[in-house]
Structure 1
Amino acid sequence: MQTILRIGTRGSPLALAQARETQSRLMAAHGLPEQAFEIVVIATSGDRIQDRPLSEAGGKGLFTKEIEEALLERRLDIAVHSSKDMPTTLPDGLELSAFLPREDARDAFIGKAARRIADLPRGATVGSSSLRRQALIRRMRPDLDVVMFRGNVNTRLRKLEEGVASGTILAYAGLKRLGLEHVITDLMSLDDFPPAPGQGAICIESRAGDADTHALLAAIHDVPTGQALACERAFLAALDGSCRTPIAGYATVADGQLSFAGLILSPDGAQSHEVRSAGLASDAARLGDAAGREVRAKAGETFFDGWA
């Protein structure tokens, strides 16, 4: 059978699991066989750069640049991404056309020296590549040594086994998609350890105006997830989505109503500013933008300038 859709993805085990989930949902929605789809693996700059934080190397776009180029060159029909990896501004001619139902957005702690961060010995080392997680760990336990921890999920778990750190934090959703829930020693609460905007949600990017592809994707798009992500991404955009300022944001949608909580922190976790808002889910993007502007006003422009 002729390939109907070429699905672009990074090559990590988690990225491939997300691409296969997208494929399975499309097969079920349209009664199509597996051979109607081709999963195309593309190496990204973010995968190749392992020796420094992404904030120093160029930011979130490093995980999407080469895949988006392939989309624009028509070597792909769609691209499957982790929503939290997506820049708030997309290249001209591309758009986010669908979101799959969101997984649990919480972070998970994997501890070797203790089951919970609170129980780690004083001065213990915790590894994370995320500025948000680093800042939240430092806010909880200023005595801990927080170190940069790059690599895919399996690489980070291997580093933990090798004793590079006493613990690390990974997205619960990713561990579930990989069948690795058994490694988790503690789940972080959404209130004490809020997630990154987009965490737990798979998004699908396509060429703007591609009506045939959009018709296929409409059948698997989850409306509440799309509304929640519209709010979170607008919040991030209002803050310029800085990779050098730790930002958390999480929206929930129920019965047409949206609730949002956002947080910005200093990298050392010592300073923070929160915002909460609620309203109609259909007004998601405006609510997120207003929340971003509100927290920016609370913090003042020097808060953002201080960590650049």
Structure 2
Amino acid sequence: MRKIVVGSRQSGLALTQSKQFIKKLQDKFPELEVEIKKIVTKGDRIVDVQLSKVGGKGLFVKEIETALSNKEIDMAIHSLKDVPSVLPDGFSIACVPEREDMRDAFLSNNKVSFKDLPKDSVIGTSSLRRAAQLKAIRDDITVKWVRGNIDTRIKKMESGEYDAILLAAAGLKRMGWSDNVVTEYFEPEDFIPAIAQGALGIEVRSDDQELIDMLQAVHSEETALCTNAERTFLKRMDGSCQVPIGGYATLEDGELYLTGLIMSEDGNERYVVKKSHEDPETLGNLVADEMEKMGAKDIIDMINNEK
């Protein structure tokens, strides 16, 4: 059996989720030899600027895709929410393993709930989507951007720089943080998550059929259907982390449901559309069609033109 070289960002979370995925693969193929190649991306190097100001999601994948193209690695393990909705020619997302928790987690000093935070409290987030939703619910708090790994962000909160922070529940769970650190989880119907939040995407060269076939052993068709609907909506809306956009899909009794969100950065304009269909791409386009009719695409076009 061939040796597989895996490309991963070198952050603690990226390496942890890569090792967790590799273990699942080796449980199915015990003879498989795997090597991890750590790759530093532009997004990892720029830690003092808000991502939306320096190019957004592609910052975490470009160098890894270059290594894939040059055959330095055989596959890349990404957080699917960091992967642009259009892949370069010659690459495929060959496997989407079972999704971890898609929710946003709210952490605060002294375990004060979001609704009970005192006026003028400071909440840290690096996401325009999270910031817009926070402002829409409470216009008496201050949202301040924060970068860094999970440990760094929690330390900044505990030091008093922030009264609370918002993180992806999936990252906390993958890193082994207990539920005790979380004040509350925001349910997706109330606080809409990022597109593909909690899901991994395994990217390969499209012509590597041997590896594509092998990856089917750890593929989750349900997660793939849901994230495909979400990413189709994202692609149609020309969305990125430079605009407040979110969405999540669920599969219930064979029918897919997709809820899409588009907001203005100040949180004053909010568009939410929910539709159902059995085909993920049709569903993503149905939600996008409705958003365009409502005028939500104008927000994205305006933000993209400004940036």
Q: Determine if the TM-score, normalized by the shorter chain, exceeds 0.5.
A: yes
Give the aligned residue type for 1:212.
E
Which residue of structure 1 lines up, in the alignment, with residue 276 of structure 2?
278
Give the aligned residue type for 2:264.
S
Q: Does residue 1:291 correspond to 2:290, yes or no?
A: no
Q: 1:124 aligns with which of 109, 121, 125?
A: 121
Q: 1:215 aligns with which of 197, 201, 213?
A: 213
Q: Does residue 1:234 correspond to 2:232, yes or no?
A: yes
Q: Does residue 1:16 correspond to 2:15, yes or no?
A: yes
Which residue of structure 2 lines up, in the alignment, with residue 186 of structure 1?
184
Deviation at 1:231, TM superposition (A): 0.2
Q: Distance in 2 between matches of 1:105 and 1:23?
A: 21
Give the aligned residue type for 1:5.
I
Q: Is the 8 A contact 1:132 1:246 kept in 2?
A: yes
Q: Is the 8 A contact 1:135 1:266 kept in 2?
A: yes
Q: Distance in 2 between matches of 1:50 and 1:244?
A: 16
Deviation at 1:213, TM superposition (A): 0.8
Which residue of structure 1 lines up, in the alignment, with residue 156 of structure 2?
159
Between 133-142 and 24-33, report the one with greater CA deviation.
24-33
Deviation at 1:116, TM superposition (A): 1.4
RMSD across aligned C-alpha pairs, in angstroms? Answer: 1.4
Q: Distance in 2 between matches of 1:29 and 1:53?
A: 40
Q: Distance in 2 between matches of 1:113 and 1:138?
A: 22
Q: Distance in 2 between matches of 1:306 and 1:237?
A: 17
Deviation at 1:255, TM superposition (A): 3.5
Deviations 1:275-303 (CA, angstroms, capped at 9, x unpaired): 111121xx101211221122122125432
Q: Is the 8 A contact 1:115 1:186 kept in 2?
A: no
Structure 1 residues without counterparts, runs of 5 or longer: none
Q: Does residue 1:259 correspond to 2:268, yes or no?
A: no
Q: Distance in 1 between matches of 2:296 and 2:78?
A: 33
Q: Distance in 1 between matches of 2:186 and 2:254?
A: 27
Q: Distance in 2 between matches of 1:22 and 1:304?
A: 35
Q: Distance in 2 between matches of 1:212 and 1:244?
A: 37
Q: Distance in 2 between matches of 1:164 and 1:157?
A: 10
Give the aligned residue type for 1:222.
S
Secondary structure at the aligned position of 1:191 is classed as: coil
Q: Is the 8 A contact 1:237 1:289 kept in 2?
A: no
Which residue of structure 1 lines up, in the alignment, with residue 167 of structure 2?
170
Between 167-176 and 286-295, report the one with greater CA deviation.
286-295
Counterparts of residues 8-157 of structure 1 (less than 5 Å) = 8-32=7-31, 36-112=33-109, 114-157=111-154
Q: Distance in 2 between matches of 1:126 and 1:107?
A: 13
Deviation at 1:254, TM superposition (A): 3.3
Q: Distance in 2 between matches of 1:236 and 1:294?
A: 13
Q: Is the 8 A contact 1:275 1:294 kept in 2?
A: yes
TM-score, structure 1 normalization: 0.95
Between 294-303 and 173-182, report the one with greater CA deviation.
294-303
Q: Distance in 1 between matches of 2:14 and 2:166?
A: 18
Deviation at 1:89, TM superposition (A): 1.1
Give the aligned residue type for 2:61.
T
Q: Distance in 1 between matches of 2:252 and 2:221?
A: 11
TM-score, structure 2 normalization: 0.95
Cα–Cα, structure 1 residues 305 and 279, in superposed 2: closer, same or farther, change >3 Å? closer
Give the aligned residue type for 1:68.
E
Moved over 4 A (4+): none
Q: Is the 8 A contact 2:8 2:18 kept in 1?
A: yes
Q: Is the 8 A contact 1:113 1:120 kept in 2?
A: no
Structure 2 residues without counterparts, runs of 5 or longer: none
Between 173-182 and 196-205, report the one with greater CA deviation.
173-182
